[in-house]
Amino acid sequence: MIIDLLKKAKKVAVLTGAGISAESGVPTFRGEGGLWRNYNPQELATPEAFARDPGLVWEWYNWRREIIHPLEPNKGHKFIADLEKNTSDFTLITQNIDGLHQKAGSKNCVELHGNIWRVRCVREEKVFELSDVPLKDIPPVCECGSILRPDIVWFGESLDPEVMSIAYNAVKNCDFMMVVGTSAVVQPAASFPLIARQNGAYVVEINAEKTPISGMVDESLIGKAGEIFGKLKP
């Protein structure tokens, strides 16, 4: 059924969250085994925390970079990358910063919250890739002498309007939307499935547990994304 709808769909949008990377070994923020319990991202991923103690915030990111660096995409990432190859109009919108979708071959990928491998100069706003693991000098410093920060959207910061506009258009215009591995509590991403549905899309959620949007989508499949995608393969 889902596979048939996907084959027929002309415009497909996929929204992913931390749960899609869980089977690769990336800790999630919430839910079973969530990173949340040992660390509180809401206290570290803020401009205030960075202004107060950039070294501490960078140590946290350094730790996360070390975890993510050796990890490989899983069946879920690969299913989504294959889906893109077989769909003429396809947009992947991810809240993840780990880069695993791109590693799996996804091309048209909108990163709502940035990317852990990119850094940004706090003075010049210059953005570049810094993939050394671990970073030896913390906090890292730009050529201009200013501190570099992760190119990530922190709590209390606005999303890039250009990125938002691409994501919003894809959500509004798709005829099939798949929502994978997100607790659907962080805005604006949490509203995307509802906007898609209001605009006529068939919306399928795949998540390890029920979420606030489970009762508002067309189908909610509860289970591990990798296993569910394995069964969806035609």
Q: How far is the CB of 139 from ligand OAD (least distance, A)?
A: 18
Q: How far is the CB of 76 from ligand OAD (least distance, A)?
A: 7
In the block, which residue shows the tokens 């027929």?
A: 8
Per CB under 6 A, does 101 bind ligand OAD?
no
Nearer to ligand OAD, 28 or 62 (CB): 28
| Residue 12: burial class (beta carbons within 10 Å; 0-12, 13-18, 19+) | buried
Nearer to ligand OAD, 84 or 151 (CB): 151
Per CB under 6 A, does 54 bind ligand OAD?
no
Contact 88, 7 (CB under 8 A): no
Figure out which of the listed residues 122, 148, 153, 178 binds ligand OAD, where binding follows CB under 6 A: 153
| Strand partners for 12 | 90, 176
CB proximity list for 228: less than 8 A, separation 6 or greater: 206, 221
Figure out which of the listed residues 15, 24, 26, 30 binds ligand OAD, where binding follows CB under 6 A: 30
CA nearest 109: which of 166, 183, 26? 166
CB proximity list for 133: less than 8 A, separation 6 or greater: 65, 66, 69
DSSP 77-135: HHHHHHHHHT-SEEEEEE---S-HHHHHT--SEEETTEEEEEEEETTT--EEE---SS-
CA nearest 180: which of 188, 172, 189? 189
Per CB under 6 A, does 41 bind ligand OAD?
yes
Per CB under 6 A, does 31 bind ligand OAD?
yes
CA-to-CA separations, 63 to 30, 55, 138, in angstroms, rounded: 18, 12, 12
Decide if 69 is catalytic.
Answer: no
Nearer to ligand OAD, 102 or 183 (CB): 183
Q: How far is the CB of 153 from ligand OAD (least distance, A)?
A: 5
Give the count of residues interacting with ligand OAD (CB under 6 A).
25
Nearer to ligand OAD, 127 or 141 (CB): 127
According to CB under 6 A, which residues from 175 to 234 bind ligand OAD? Answer: 181-183, 186, 207-209, 211, 224-225
Q: Which residues are near ligand OAD by CB under 6 A? A: 17-19, 22-23, 28-31, 34, 41, 45, 95, 113, 153, 181-183, 186, 207-209, 211, 224-225
Q: What residues are annotated to the active site?
A: 113
